[in-house]
A and B are shown apart, each in its own frame.
Chain A
Amino acid sequence: MRLPPWLLSDRAGLVLLAILAIIGVGVPVLNLLAPPDHPLHLTAYTVTLLGKYLCYALLAVAVDLVWGYMGILSLGHAAFFALGGYCFGMYLMRQIGTRGVYGDPVLPDFMVFLNWQELPWYWHGFDLFWFAAVMVLVVPGLLAFVFGWFAFRSRVSGVYLSIITQALTYALMLAFFRNEMGFGGNNGLTDFKDALGFPLQADGARIVLFVLSTLALAGGYLACRWLVSTRLGRVLVAIRDSEDRARFLGYRVEKVKALVFTFSAMLAGVAGALYVPQVGIINPGEFAPLNSIEAVIWVAVGGRGTLVGAVVGAVLINYAKTWLTGALPEVWLFALGGLFVMVTLLLPYGLIGLLRRREATA
């Protein structure tokens, strides 16, 4: 099989895909085949933690596509991630059936608790896996499209657009906190039992979710890499660097922006949908503005406009977060802020830029 030229010339991307292939096979092997007392054995906890990092990495790739290539600094991408997560969480809620605390065959526990008599209309269909899977793409995509259509047509850009995206995710957070919304309010959706009949707590399900996350990241990366290698990718760069030039060349800038923004939101939605069954809960905290800002920092640290850098940044920073919030929890936010300032001042092209510079001087 011969690789297409757009992939062949992407050396960093090939390294990334090779690593994903290795861990996609290696991690399950070390979990299932190495005996528990073996030094190389990976616990189910570690597998899930790695799976979580991969979901964050996919979110980062989605952010990099719109920020690094199209120049739209979205400070609300975690909203699309959370919406994807809620869509899949709704499916998982409906799989609980009579095993909930109140044993109602249709209504999730929190609805029984609120004395609701029947399922709200927007919960229908979510007992079907395929329907939920489609909604994971449709709901974030539709919100992004409607938002993008109005914002980009009114030519809102730059810092104003960033502020609106931040407001968007904040508004969603407040809305989802309300019990009357029908998404479990403050507590969100949790106590999941199984998906497609497989118990989520079992090692097997965790391995499958990990492998799916690996595949989703690889697929998302490939889709974005292909997109930025096409002519459309060059239009994105033109829009980023000189929106007027693109417009006077005859491109409908607002349409291109709305479409790519929508695609990016769908990727974020997939990431969220894979994230929720691995962490076992989705609540309105996922809409917190800070989450979106963190995703932007991952991209900046890894290297904006490189796609690979987004993955590197997301994994490294989340690893550091896991470690630091365990060892020195009060230091974490200062470390994150300091890192962002350092990278902005010293490494405008992030870690990937640093590697490239080394290569150029070597």
Chain B
Amino acid sequence: MSELISELDAAGMHPPVGPVDATHGILLYLEGVSVSFDGFKAIDNLSLYIGDGELRCIIGPNGAGKTTMMDIITGKTKPDAGRVFFGQTIDLLKLDEPAIARVGIGRKFQRPTVIEPLTVLENLELAMSGAKRLRGLMTTRLSGEERDRIAAVLDRIGLTEHGGRLAGILAHGQKQWLEIGMLLMQEPRLLLVDEPVAGMTPAEMDRTAELLRSLAGSHSVVVVEHDMGFVRSIADRVTVLHQGRVLAEGRLDELQEDPTVIEVYLGAGDAYH
């Protein structure tokens, strides 16, 4: 049986990928990426670079291609053209979703997606990196070191007192933090976070902003968000997507003066008051 398991592990593995190489200061490269669905160009010759340790916000009207872009980076959708590299060496287009997760890209979904019948602790344990091999899964125990890692993440997401509770009965905001915590258990270099504060109270938004800011530096963080107040509170660099392309990039206050941005996205201008 164990031979079969190791064989299966080998069968699922892709050519060995080394550690991510961000020596040029860029962690994620998208170059000339295009994808269309039934003739509709969801992403049209998109180029985007995310720096190592950077916190970047992506904004854009509905249908601008934000979620499709995340799908391409995480391997859910394969583009028709273009290149997607993680660091200098890792070609993400050659990897599938689990392989991309394992090289260090974590993704938070728009709707909080935690495993509701499991406890907060079990959700974090589930996400723990290094436990993805079958042999590592055949255990009912946690080692001391694993316990410490889980405790550290619990503390970081502010759920230390809720470790034993079922994830399903957490408040909406707590579920969002738990999911971010699950990403952290994967020890990613890049976090893709889709609308983290939708439906949150102002107090929860403040804590989320603080959490994401504290992650930048040691991680690169890409946040897709609609809430302008929240975007202003976290990001120095903002990318505006429109019709599958980068419309503009820069500081939020500069972009708010940019006439093309105002026209396509900020519209009447009251969206960010």
Contacts and interface: CB of A to CB of B under 8 A. Distances in A.
Interface of A: 4-6, 226, 229-232, 234-235, 237-238, 241-242, 244-245, 247-253, 255-256, 259
Interface in B25-79: 74, 76
Interface centre among A6, A231, A241, A242 (most CB of B within 10 A): A231
A224 to B, nearest CB: 14
B12 A255 contact: yes
A287 B138 CA distance: 33
Interface residues of B, number: 34
Interface centre among A5, A230, A247, A249 (most CB of B within 10 A): A249
Contact of B101 (A4, A238, A242, A249): A249
B107 interface: yes
A250 B132 contact: yes
Contacts of B114: 245
Given A230-B137, A247-B97, A235 B12 contact: no
Contact of A249 (B117, B127, B137): B127
Contact of B115 (A234, A250, A256): A234
B125 A249 contact: no
B167 to A, nearest CB: 10
Nearest to A242: B113
B134 A234 contact: no
A235 B140 contact: no
Given A241-B115, A252-B12, A4 B74 contact: no
Contacts of B122: 234
A229 B140 CA distance: 6
Contacts of B137: 230-232, 235
Contact of A250 (B98, B109, B125): B98
Contacts, number: 79
A249 B106 CA distance: 7
A43 to B, nearest CB: 41
B27 to A, nearest CB: 18
Interface string B134-174: 10111110000000000000000000000000000000000
The 3 nearest A-B residue pairs measured at CB: A250-B101, A232-B137, A231-B137
A231 B115 contact: no
B115 A238 contact: yes
B131 interface: yes
Contacts of B127: 249
Nearest to A305: B117
A5 B140 contact: yes
Nearest to A250: B101
